[in-house]
Amino acid sequence: MAVHLNHPLPSLAAKKRFVAKSQTPTKLRVSCFTSNHSGKFKRDYTSVMIVPTGIGAAIGGFAGDALPVARALSSVVDCLITHPNVLNAAMLYWPMPNVLYVEGHALDRFAEGSWALQPVHQNRQVGLVLDAGIEEELQIRHLQVADAVRASLGLPMVEYIVTDTPLEVEKWVDPKSGQSTGRIKHPESLLRAVQTLVSWSGVNAIAVVGRFPDDDVEDTDDYRQGMGIDLLAGVEAVISHLVVQEFQIPCAHAPALSPFPLSLSLCPKAAAEELGHTFLPCVLAGLSNAPQYLVKNNESLEKGCILASDVDSVVLPIDACGGEGALAFARSKRNKTLIIAVEENETVLNDTPDKVGIEAVKVSNYWEAIGVIAAHKAGIDPHSLRRDKINNIPCTPTANGYAFSSTMRIT
């Protein structure tokens, strides 16, 4: 600052006042147009990806073959919520810090607004339940996986327990829907084992390994060739649903099977299940940081939980829109969730948006789905990216039946 000689020089007291004032902290003004990248001016964009299990989905109906879609989608959104069928690939998995691993029953309760999701830094106490029907050698293989993830990945495993009775897993294909399903003959044995781990060891996530019946090679040929449905997946969902419904903690299942005979013409989509003796690694990796499930109340709001009303978009197969979670998101009155139905991902179901009566944006494939979500996140009507998809703005009638003037100005 220049001082003109024809002005009187400031006194010593004035200098002190100037210095004191210049050293007084001032409040910074933050503008949306500044280069301050640390400021957040919009809430996180949250998307849900659903590929129901055991329905022969063209993408996501095999050994983690929907995982590439989840990886791509997670790079576009701030938070992606999906379930084990999408993320589990037997011996393979992929860590994604902005992806929440949510069991299917919990995802339905979340969608309907009953439960909230509480993200965790890490689940410090993950327990393992082994079916008493697993042979000794196969049981040792699974325990070695648990030790390996502790030693090589540093994942938290507290202890394991063997059920007091073999679970006796049964599986079949529903003749009406065409999807795989099943049951365990002794569900009470599973629940007792989980209760013991919860009560005595304080676990807050559960991995279950059930002994599945070995199929004839002919029964699995279609699946190993990338066709048909996953005969194991339906009853796996039944098992995890049972635990989550009873204890409201994260749970995922891995089947124990005898090794498959070598196939020289294996479809890449099924190859992840041919790599080792167990499917457990992806389950333990997913459960290590799966969110906790809280009943929606004031406490869950105070803990910064994610609610169904936070979900901006849901992407799912074109003919699998009839599930509880999908319908809850589509019909929610709390939030206008964008439903995206992928035509290329066909299943054995026939629950299309038109048939179940929900509004959805239909896209040809996941490439287009991710583009729609990117536009939606940017606050852009996805239809404005298409040729001739934006029509003249409609006029809403007033309460007395007369329309507003087309020359009405909005200031």
Encode pLDDT of 121-138 as tens digits.
999 899 999 999 999 999
Return d(Cα 129, Cα 84) in angstroms, integer: 17
| Confidence band of 108 (pLDDT split at 50, 70, 90) | very high
Evaluate if residue 39 carries a pLDDT over 90: no
Evaluate if residue 20 carries a pLDDT over 70: no
User: So what's the pLDDT on residue 6?
Assistant: 43
Return d(Cα 290, Cα 346) in angstroms, integer: 28
Check if the beta carbon of residue 211 is closer than 8 Å to that of residue 166. Answer: yes
Mean pLDDT computed over 251-278:
89
Q: Which residue has the higher pLDDT, 301 or 22?
A: 301
Each residue's pLDDT tens digit, 301-350: 667 899 999 999 999 999 999 999 999 999 987 778 999 999 999 999 99
Q: Which residue has the higher pLDDT, 217 or 219?
A: 219
Backbone φ and ψ of 274, nearest 5°: -105, 5
User: So what's the pLDDT on residue 158?
Assistant: 79
Average pLDDT over all residues of the chain:
87
Find the length of the chain.
Answer: 411
Each residue's pLDDT tens digit, 123-182: 989 999 999 999 999 999 999 999 999 999 999 887 999 999 999 999 999 999 999 999
Specify the 3-state DSSP secondary structure of 209: strand
Check if the beta carbon of residue 195 is closer than 8 Å to that of residue 144. Answer: no
Q: Which residue has the higher pLDDT, 328 or 19?
A: 328
Evaluate if residue 408 carries a pLDDT over 70: no
Give the DSSP H/E element, type plus range, for residue 10. Answer: none
User: So what's the pLDDT on residue 303?
Assistant: 75
- In the chain the first and final C-alpha atoms are separated, in Å, by 44
- Report the predicted TM-score, pTM, of the whole model to 2 decimal places: 0.85
Check if the beta carbon of residue 161 is closer than 8 Å to that of residue 129. Answer: yes
Strand partners, 162: 130
